Amino acid sequence: MKFLTSSPRWQVSPELEKIKHECQTVFMDQCRSVLTPFVGAGTIASASLWSMLGAAEALSYAAATGEIIATQAESELSEIILAMV
């Protein structure tokens, strides 16, 4: 069974989607480990990490298609990460 991801141009198999999700989870765990020392007494919620990942994907797409310049994408993502901690 195939399904559409966020872009109708791409058909993604369930197997590939599972691998992508596993990689995203590992990456978010690594981000949590790196950023946790800067949080203080709190924790970084999974929703925040998913939000960061979605924003990074959207910003990189916007930069790649020329909607924004790379430095704008970097600056915006930095602000999102700083807001998490």
Concatenated DSSP letters of 15-38? HHHHHHHHHHHHHHHHHHHHHGGG
Domain coordinates in residue numbering, the chain: 3-84
Each residue's pLDDT expressed in tens, for the chain with a length of 85 residues: 444 455 566 677 889 999 999 999 999 999 999 999 999 888 899 999 999 999 999 999 999 999 999 999 999 999 999 998 8
- pTM listed for this prediction: 0.79
Other residues' Cβ atoms within 10 Å of the Cβ of residue 15: 8
